[in-house]
Amino acid sequence: MFNGMESEHSHKFKVISKKLSTLLNKDFKVYLEKWYLLDRLRAWTFSFDKQFPAYAKDKFCLDFMNDSEVLSIIQCMNTSGSWSPLVTKVSSVDVEEVPCTQLSMDFFNRLKEYNIVRESGHISKCFDEFHEGITISDELRKMLLLEDSDNFESYSDEERSEFLFRMFSHICIGGPICQYEDMIEPYYEVTKSLYKDCVSVQKDSSTNEIKIVSKVFKITAKDEEGTILYPSSGDHIQNFAYLIVEPFKRHVTLLYHSWGKGLW
């Protein structure tokens, strides 16, 4: 966690017109609406004026959350489902660095190995369970959400921490009024597209290997009393704010989602 106030050495940010193609794609928008994500998932991209300091990532994130232009653009969703600007001063930011190394959707082939997904692509069903307002009616969501499920350990803690896994999980879980898919392919398609929108790759000249150069941070902004201001005051697995930094382009994208008001 980093505490501090804006100073003359703070990064400055300027909004740019870059849009995530996934959120504009007509076919994907149908899915996002069906999963109750369309109106709750938003992204904003900014340029920044100085080199990204990997050694001072916490201060960079605090600079971002206190920048006047950022605050004039980004919004948050309250528990009633309304969007509004962030008006309270951010005093501190908890920053979690998110591993981002996966280059292929082959990462999810294991779902078939564990019969979470059948060879046909159908998602295996299970008896209904409930977790944090989420209806779990198949083995996929069971594996994603329940630590005591038979298949929870099909992915290690390190693998679950990967940005690709987190993104896939957020998409599969959806919003509070989600119409789930019977087939896995739509989840794969949207996850792959959004991941490609968010992260940048570069070839290593010495090894010719393709590597992800983006840096990803999950952030939680708080006021001086420690109350969570962003992404949401509610503590829910589907409340998230990721900062995706492209150090060479000096671009940063905020990917935001709020669970908002559920059914109950």
- Digit-by-digit pLDDT tens for the chain (264 residues) are 545 444 447 899 999 988 899 999 999 999 999 999 999 999 999 999 999 988 899 999 999 999 999 999 999 887 677 888 988 889 999 999 999 999 999 999 999 999 999 999 999 999 999 998 899 999 999 999 999 999 999 999 999 999 999 999 999 999 988 999 999 999 999 999 999 999 999 988 888 889 999 999 999 999 998 888 899 866 789 999 999 999 999 999 999 999 876 544
The 8 Å CB, 24+ separation contacts for 67-71 are 67/6, 67/10, 67/11, 67/12, 67/13, 69/12, 69/13, 69/14, 69/15, 70/13, 70/15, 70/44, 70/46
DSSP codes, 77-103: E-TTS-EEE--SPP-EEEEEEE-----
For position 259, what pLDDT does the model report? 87
Q: Nearest Cα to 137, choosing from 177, 176, 181, 167?
A: 181
CA distance 66 to 234: 21
Q: Nearest Cα to 72, choosing from 5, 15, 154?
A: 15
For position 136, what pLDDT does the model report? 94
Residue 221: Cβ-neighbour burial (10 angstroms; 0-12, 13-18, 19+) = buried
Q: Six-digit token pair at 9?
A: 């050495």
For position 41, what pLDDT does the model report? 94
For position 62, what pLDDT does the model report? 95
- Residues constituting the chain: 264
Q: How would you label 1-22 residue by residue, b for 16+ Cβ within 10 Å and e otherwise? A: ebeeeeeeebbebeeeeeebeb
For position 264, what pLDDT does the model report? 41
CA distance 254 to 45: 6
Q: Which helix (H) or strand (E) holds 246?
A: strand 240-246
Cβ neighbours for 3, distance < 8 A, ≥ 6 positions apart: 62, 91, 92
Give me the residue spans of the domains in the chain: 2-22+39-100+201-257, 105-198
